[in-house]
Amino acid sequence: MMIARAAPAAATATAAGYRDPLDVEMAYEVRLPEGAALQVATVDGDVHVSDLTGKATITTVDGDVIVSGRAPESISTVDGEIDVTMDEMPKAGMHYRTVDGAITVRVPSGVGLDVSGSSVDGTFSSDFPLTTSGKWGPRQFRGTLGDGGPALRLSTVDGAIRLQKR
């Protein structure tokens, strides 16, 4: 069973007519059947996802994305950080991008990935030795983790990119 949580502002209610408006914030927990695809989009709210068993696409505006378990195929955020702790990866590859925020991806030892990324104003760090090819520098990188495998594309406009051991 997969659990997805959107918080804090999945829904907002405002009471008017008082001196100070009363804002009410809500959080939702959604459980999907095994293998079900997940598509989440939020504005002004974080998304927490765990125990994915199907394909997933996550999009936020002004919200962080935190994932544990199976890695989603696509994460995109404007003004938010991306934090993924992988147990397994999709075979089709992954693409994670943020306009203003860091990307941290934790992978188990022994995993093979073809990694590429770019950052307009950020840095790249890796706990793994990467075999590099092409252009290397603070703005673009490309490399192979282990024997290679699914593509992992990471991009930020303003934020660090970190590839860490789990």
Torsion, CA 150, CA 140, CA 124, CA 87, rounded to 10: -10
| Reported confidence tier of residue 82, pLDDT bands at 50, 70, 90 | very high
Distances (CA, A) of 111 to 22, 24, 93, 114: 49, 43, 13, 10
Write out the two tokens for 27: 């959080």
8 A C-beta contact, residue 111 and residue 91: no
- CA within 13 Å, CB half, 114: 10
Spatial CA neighbour of 128 closest among 114, 142, 146: 146
| pTM listed for this prediction | 0.82
How confident is the model over 42-68, as pLDDT tens digits?
888 899 999 888 899 999 999 999 999
pLDDT at 131: 62
| Segments forming the whole domain that contains residue 136 | 2-165
User: What's the chain's average pLDDT?
Assistant: 83
Which of 25-34, 67-76, 102-111 is predicted with the least confidence, judged by mean pLDDT?
A: 25-34
Cα separation, 87 vs 134, whole angstroms: 29
Total domains in the chain come to: 1
pLDDT of residue 89: 82
Residue 98 near residue 156, CB atoms below 8 Å: yes
Predicted pLDDT of residue 136: 56
The answer to whether residues 46 and 63 touch, using CB atoms and an 8 Å cutoff, is yes
Residues 94-150 have pLDDT tens digits of 999 999 999 999 998 888 999 998 888 888 888 988 765 555 555 788 888 889 999
**Stretch among 1-10, 24-33, 138-147 having the lowest mean pLDDT:** 1-10
How many H-runs (helices) and E-runs (strands) does the chain carry? Answer: 0, 16
